Amino acid sequence: MDLHGYGDLLLSGLWVTIKLALVSLFFGLIIGLAGATAKLSSSRVARGIATAYTTIVRGIPELLLVLTLYFGGSQLLMYFASMFGYDEYIDVGQFSAAVAALAIAFGAYSTEVFRMAMQDVPKGQWESAQAMGMTPVQTFFRIILPQVWRLAIPGLGNLFQVLLKDTALVSVVGLNELMRQASVGAATTKSPFDFYLAAAILYLLLTVGTTLVTGLLERMSKPELRGGRA
């Protein structure tokens, strides 16, 4: 591969891709936990909202979600801001729109992963914790959530790999992530094969790294594999 001195361009795009994926993962996990909790709650309204969210988002292509939030995000924020008397223009940046779109998409899928993990935790643990005087919030964060993480790690790892590849979609809004920088380099040097092959290798390395980290987290979450007691 001959990158004609544009290797730094690809590396800068790789760094943006990593930041975009990690920030989207952070907010996506929060959304997923909230969605799963809502789906398993006793409130019909909460269950209805969570079900509508996952159904709608999973039925919309991620690319369409990115475009909608980037081009319509400013109008939506200005509409809500006008309710509080704020009438200045609100600009939605490329990175913010990309994070919002990817986090919303990731959250919809991770909701189902967390929901199934929560259902696999024996209900008797809720009852035992409450019998010991723990509040529902304490029970969730001290007893249930650690077990949910252990059960959800494989599914979340697979979703994060999909998220990494979905970051390429945000190149359509001009964010200088890996795919965008590869396109710029290819167009400038007239060597598309070299740049897209280099981008493919970098994406593959990210995926392999994610697989290794996921495997490490799985082993760390199992006491018997760390020399402890199950």
User: Domain segments of the chain: what residues?
Assistant: 7-223
Mean pLDDT over each residue of the chain, to the nearest integer: 88
pLDDT score of 1: 62
The model carries a pTM of 0.88
CATH entry, 7-223, from 1.10.3720.10, 3.50.50.60, 3.40.50.460, 3.30.70.580: 1.10.3720.10
User: 38-82, pLDDT tens digit by residue?
Assistant: 999 889 999 999 999 999 999 999 999 999 998 888 888 888 888
Q: What is the mean pLDDT of residues 16-30?
A: 96
Given a cut of 70, whether residue 214 has pLDDT beyond it is yes
Q: pLDDT (tens digit, 9 = 90+) per residue, 132-185?
A: 888 878 888 888 888 888 899 999 999 999 999 999 999 988 889 999 999 999
Q: How confident is the model at residue 224 (pLDDT cuts 50, 70, 90)?
A: low
Per-residue pLDDT for 95 more than 70? yes
Token readout for 44 is: 């019909």
Q: Give the pLDDT score at 63.
A: 92
3-state secondary structure of 135: coil
Percent of the chain whose predicted confidence (pLDDT) is above 90:
55
Q: What is the arithmetic mean of pLDDT over 185-197?
A: 89
Name residues whose C-beta falls within 8 Å of residue 181's C-beta, 6 or more positions apart in sequence. 9, 10, 12, 13
Take residue 18 and report the two structure tokens written for it.
């990593």
Burial 65-86 (b: 16+ CB within 10 A, else e): bbbebbeebbeeebeeeeeeee
